[in-house]
Amino acid sequence: MTQEQTMAACAVNAWTTQIDRATKLFSGASDQQLLAEIAPGKNRLIYLFGHLLAVHDAMRPLLGIGPRRYEHLDAAFLTGADKAVADLPSTASLKEMWEEVHASLLAAFNAWSPADWVGKHTAVSDDDFAKNPLRNRLAVLLNRTGHLAYHLGQCVLAPKT
Predicted confidence (pLDDT) per residue in 3-42, tens digit = 999 999 999 999 999 999 999 999 999 999 999 999 889 9
Residue 29 lies in a domain: yes
Residue 126 makes CB contacts below 8 A (sequence gap 6+) with 120
pLDDT for the residue 142: 98
Residue 107 lies in a domain: yes
Residue 118 lies in a domain: yes
Residue 120 has pLDDT above 90, yes or no: yes
Question: What span, in angstroms and rounded, lies between the C-alpha atoms of 68 and 148?
Answer: 19
Residue 112 has pLDDT above 70, yes or no: yes
Lowest mean pLDDT among 58-62, 71-75, 82-86: 82-86
More confident residue, 40 or 77: 77
Residue 94 has pLDDT above 70, yes or no: yes
Range of the domain at 8: 3-155
Tell me what the mean pLDDT of segment 138-147 comes to. Answer: 98
Residue 160 lies in a domain: no
Tell me what the mean pLDDT of segment 58-80 comes to. Answer: 97
- Count structural domains, the chain: 1
Question: What span, in angstroms and rounded, lies between the C-alpha atoms of 52 and 99?
Answer: 12
Tell me what the mean pLDDT of segment 137-159 comes to. Answer: 95
What angle (nearest 5°) sits at the alpha carbon of residue 89, between those of residues 88 and 90? 115
pLDDT for the residue 130: 97
Residue 91 lies in a domain: yes
Residue 161 has pLDDT above 70, yes or no: no
Q: Does residue 70 contact residue 53 with C-beta atoms inside 8 Å? A: yes
CATH code where residue 16 lies: 1.20.120.450
Residue 108 lies in a domain: yes
Query: What percentage of residues in the chain have a pLDDT greater than 90?
Result: 93
For the chain, the average pLDDT equals 96
Residue 75 lies in a domain: yes
Residue 122 neighbours by CB distance under 10 Å? 12
Tell me what the mean pLDDT of segment 111-118 comes to. Answer: 97
Q: Does residue 65 contact residue 108 with C-beta atoms inside 8 Å? A: yes
Residue 161 lies in a domain: no
